[in-house]
Amino acid sequence: MTVDSVPVALGARSYEVRIGPGLIDRAGAQIAPLLRRPRVAVVTDETVAGLHLARLADGLAAAGLAHTSLALPAGESTKGWAHLARCTEWLLDQKVERRDLVVALGGGVIGDLVGFSAAILRRGVRFVQVPTSLLAQVDSSVGGKTGINTAQGKNLVGAFHQPSLVLADIDALATLPRRDFLAGYGEVLKYGLLGDAAFFDWLEVNAPRMVAGDAGLRQHAVRVSVAMKAGIVSRDETEEGERALLNLGHTFCHALESATGYGDRLLHGEGVAIGCALAFELSQRLGLCAQEAPSRLRAHLRSLGMKTDLRDIPGDLPGADGLLGLMAQDKKVVDGRLRFILARGIGQAFVADDVPPDAVRGVLTDALAAR
Ligand code: GLY
């Protein structure tokens, strides 16, 4: 398989997303042209370190690059003030300078945290994303959103800080537990649903083999997803308009994640899949799309054994008003109005700024009653 390259066109801050097999082993050669001196600082988590850090270290050494590394605990709770301080102070201890480069090796938690640390370190140092989860490869490593969670909510503290390069190694996906792969698939599906009906058709046919491990299909799906995100980000870097489409399913998802404690009961990508199904259901009830759209989406999720409805979330959930209250905390609330991404059909999403709360309450009440 060859390596694909997707450009993210942002003027002086443009960069490439390279997608293909063996990129972690060859990261040294890929990164070396960006360096002013032959050393990098690598931040990862303990799980990813066990799986991939030795390969990365060998590749860096083969390219003549020295490195130091820090492995943080794995898991969403790492993405907070405490580990941001630890990571940033460690980078200072390593004497990382303005012209050096930091490598973030891991999933979305590491990419967001290390990217934010790089954004604030010496008022900004460059960083390279080496995403190892499907979710990070198709979404969080591209586009420059970095940040941490606080007691008040997810991703409420952060900065736009674009990476200098993204290396998405398709081989890393082979080490993911099935549940994590499927959670990342929720974000892949999102691209078809929001703007590319032909990609959704392709996924309906190819997803079973892709989930089973076909690396060529995985590379194709990552490339199509990244290309769509790169286009949107280059037109609307700071989410003044079109970029909000990438939040399809996320208003529901964030409320569900908050209700379930951001943990094992519901992974982010699982919440995105359920949230997309609810967003299409809401669109149908508002008369925007035919019943076929939510039905087809649900059938696809079910065929892969994915969480599809609120009844697939174990344990108690708040009532409809409790979930609506959690949505009101969301970053996507504008002037107190609920903002949703709705759809006129598969591949035809748009931003709706003033969705009637009663319609949302109705969708949630019925979904909760079916549990
Ligand atoms: N994950 C949504 C975005 O990057 O805008």
Ligand 1 center from residue 296 Cα (angstroms): 25
Tens of pLDDT along 221-271?
999 999 999 999 999 999 999 999 999 999 999 999 999 988 899 999 999
Is 79 annotated in the active site? no
Residue type, 177: P
Phi, psi of 230 (to 5 degrees): -60, -40
- DSSP conformational letter for 2: P
- The string of DSSP codes covering 29-91 is HHHGGG-SSSEEEEEEEHHHIIIIIHHHHHHHHHTT-EEEEEEEPSSGGGSSHHHHHHHHHHH
Q: Closest ligand 1 atom to the C-alpha of 139?
A: 1
Cα–Cα dist 122/96, whole Å = 9
Taking the CA atoms of the chain, what radius of gyration do you get in angstroms? 20
> Mutation test of ligand 1: which of 246, 248, 268 has the most ligand atoms closer than 8 Å to its C-beta?
246
pLDDT band for 371, please (50, 70, 90 cuts): confident
> Mutation test of ligand 1: which of 137, 140, 166, 191 has the most ligand atoms closer than 8 Å to its C-beta?
140
pLDDT at 332 over 80: no
Is 300 annotated in the active site? no
pLDDT at 152 over 90: no
* Tokens 């290396």 found at: 167
Tens of pLDDT along 333-360?
556 678 899 999 999 999 998 899 899 9
Tokens representing 174 are 């082979």
> Is the Cβ atom of 139 under 6 angstroms away from ligand 1?
yes
Cα–Cα dist 121/284, whole Å = 47
Residue 263: what pLDDT?
86
> Is the Cβ atom of 79 under 6 angstroms away from ligand 1?
no
Ligand 1 center from residue 24 Cα (angstroms): 24
> Is the Cβ atom of 233 under 6 angstroms away from ligand 1?
no
Cβ(361)–Cβ(321) below 8 Å? yes
Ligand 1 center from residue 137 Cα (angstroms): 12
The percentage of residues in the chain with a pLDDT greater than 70, rounded to a whole number, is 98
Is 123 annotated in the active site? yes
Residue 44: what pLDDT?
98
Ligand 1 center from residue 142 Cα (angstroms): 8
> Is the Cβ atom of 190 under 6 angstroms away from ligand 1?
no
> Is the Cβ atom of 246 under 6 angstroms away from ligand 1?
yes
Cα–Cα dist 365/262, whole Å = 22
Which one of 79, 83, 145, 307 is the catalytic residue?
145
Average pLDDT over residues 296-323: 97
β partners of residue 66: 39
pLDDT at 331 over 90: no
